[in-house]
Amino acid sequence: MTRIYNFSAGPAVLPEPVLRQAAEEMLDWHGSGMSVMEMSHRGKEFIAIHAQAEADLRELLGIPKNYKVLFLQGGAAAQFAIVPMNLLRGKAGADYINTGQWSKKAISEAKRYCKVNVAASSEDGNFTFAPKQDHWRLDPDAAYVHYTSNETIGGVEFQWIPQTGEVPLVADMSSHILSRPLDVSRYGVIYAGAQKNIGPAGLTIVIVRDDLIGHAAPITPGVFDYKVQAESDSMNNTPPTYAIYIAGLVFQWLKNLGGLKEMERTNITKAGLVYDYLDQTEFYHSPVAKDDRSRMNIPFTLRNSGLDAAFLNAAESRGLTQLKGHRSVGGMRASIYNAMPVEGVRALIEFMREFEKNNG
């Protein structure tokens, strides 16, 4: 069996030990005689899987006791609506920071439910940087402040946590959660689609502070109400059971590696290898401000865009796949999430050097 190096932005590469364990347990989970996919979500077997996954996630992130962990569905895109439904608490508006395509989608959806104040934006700079907080124009009466802490498409990552005082801070962390240690207590709500750093598509993780639960707008469907889901242990409806199981295996893999501090060291090494090469060549170009470069998603362009197709075809022939940039920005993008090994990054750079030598 030959495994490729998959640089997809999501669904994305998973740790090979996790895939192997899942394969071994596919037909018979721990002597139960059945696959996790066949289990009742009310049965003792799956309840144990669910409880262990939550406990491991809490340990990895140091989640305080006054926060609930919800395992939901609908992706981060559903949270674009669910957040204002639950957090407005009678207020008229919320602050949003616009740093890319996912921020824009969140803003567009929130406008269905409240007045949106775009407190800062990098759109005039083609979404290549994170606006410094001294340029933000926050509304002190806002229900919450929302930002996308890592923009998957543009490759912009906040290397700092915004200060919002008594106004709850909400973050879409879909594409870099679990890539570094995190002070959860600085946030009101953190949400993330699983298909980048956590597991397969279909699972959404929400971490929400207790005092923000129980204030959903009357229009909110029960399945979207944080209070309803918290009280039912995320089982108001059938949860994405197999995705939760795989996420639990990923959490155990991270713990076995040494936790998020060790994972961050590896991620800094991987991203540094790519950016160091991009910075010393004129054949390729990184468009993102150096202080705001993502460790997870690295967009780059070729000086001669006419070579794009040849680059992608040659890369794929070498087992380096999914390097095409998002259709909205073009160019290339290497997503190097937690499960991408350092060897994969080195193979990419070796190929890029060779392509430059042959085409520069």
Catalytic residue among 68, 102, 225, 253: 102
Give the DSSP letter string of 149-176.
SEETTTTEE-SSPPP-TTSPEEEE-TTT
Long-range contacts (CB closer than 8 Å, 24 or more residues apart) made by 115-122: 117/93, 117/142, 119/95, 119/145, 121/97, 122/98, 122/156
Catalytic residue among 68, 104, 196, 270: 196
48 burial via Cβ count (<10 Å: 0-12, 13-18, 19+): exposed
Omega before 64 cis (within 30°)? no
Is 196 labeled as catalytic in the residue annotation? yes
Q: Whats the size of the chain, residue-wise? A: 360
Is 172 labeled as catalytic in the residue annotation? yes
Question: Rounded to whole angstroms, what are the CA distances from 279 to 117, 148, 208, 287, 300?
Answer: 36, 26, 39, 11, 11
For residue 59, give both structure tokens: 């340990």
Contact 253, 199 (CB under 8 A): no
Q: Residue 129's Cα: distance from chain center in Å? A: 18
User: Cα–Cα–Cα angle for 150, 153, 156, nearest 5°?
Assistant: 40
Q: H helices of the chain, where?
A: 16-24, 44-61, 75-87, 101-110, 226-231, 241-257, 260-279, 308-317, 342-359
Is 102 labeled as catalytic in the residue annotation? yes
140 burial via Cβ count (<10 Å: 0-12, 13-18, 19+): exposed
Distance CA 23, CA 14 (A): 13
Catalytic residue among 172, 253, 270, 324: 172
Query: Active-site residues: which are they?
Result: 102, 172, 196
